[in-house]
Amino acid sequence: MKALKNNIINQTTNGKIFKCDSCDKTHIEYKNLSFAFNEDELQYFKKYLRNFDAKKWQQQNKNSLFTRKIIIPIGHKNFTTLFSLSEFQEFKTLLMSKNKELLSFIKFIEINNTLLFN
């Protein structure tokens, strides 16, 4: 079995997006969710999220019993994704940003490195 190249496109505290050499799909891992898209599906999903008004849906679902008020159907009648506003913004950032832009979205406390003093 050959080793796969490191094709990480972007990463946040709770997620990662990467391209798989063996299946030629882009995989999105966010918390306990996982998606796999070909290029056309990925572009469609990004466009859908770009146009999704999370604040509107958060307001509309404010009285819902769900803790997370942003409810997004993903194509199966028995399954939806649930996000808080901050989770949705992080998820959207994960998909829309390139690696070089990532640092401006990471809070200091989220950096997983030990600070060493000389």
Q: Which amino acid is at 17?
A: I
Which residue in this structure is represented by tokens 């997004």? 72
Q: Reduced to 3 DSSP states, what percent helix, strand and coil does the chain have, rounded to the nearest 5?
A: 35, 25, 40
pLDDT in tens, 60-80: 999 999 999 999 988 888 999
Other Cβ atoms less than 10 A from the Cβ of 70: the count is 23
Separation of first and last alpha carbons in the chain: 44
Beta bridge partners of 117: none
Q: How high is the pLDDT of residue 103?
A: 42
Which residue in this structure is represented by tokens 């199966």? 76
Tell whether the torsion through CA atoms of 12, 102, 20 and 48 is positive or negative. Answer: positive
Q: How high is the pLDDT of residue 74?
A: 85
Q: Strand, helix or coil at 59?
A: helix
Which regions in the chain score pLDDT beneath 70?
A: 1-6, 98-118
**How far does Cα 88 stand from its chain's mean position?**
8
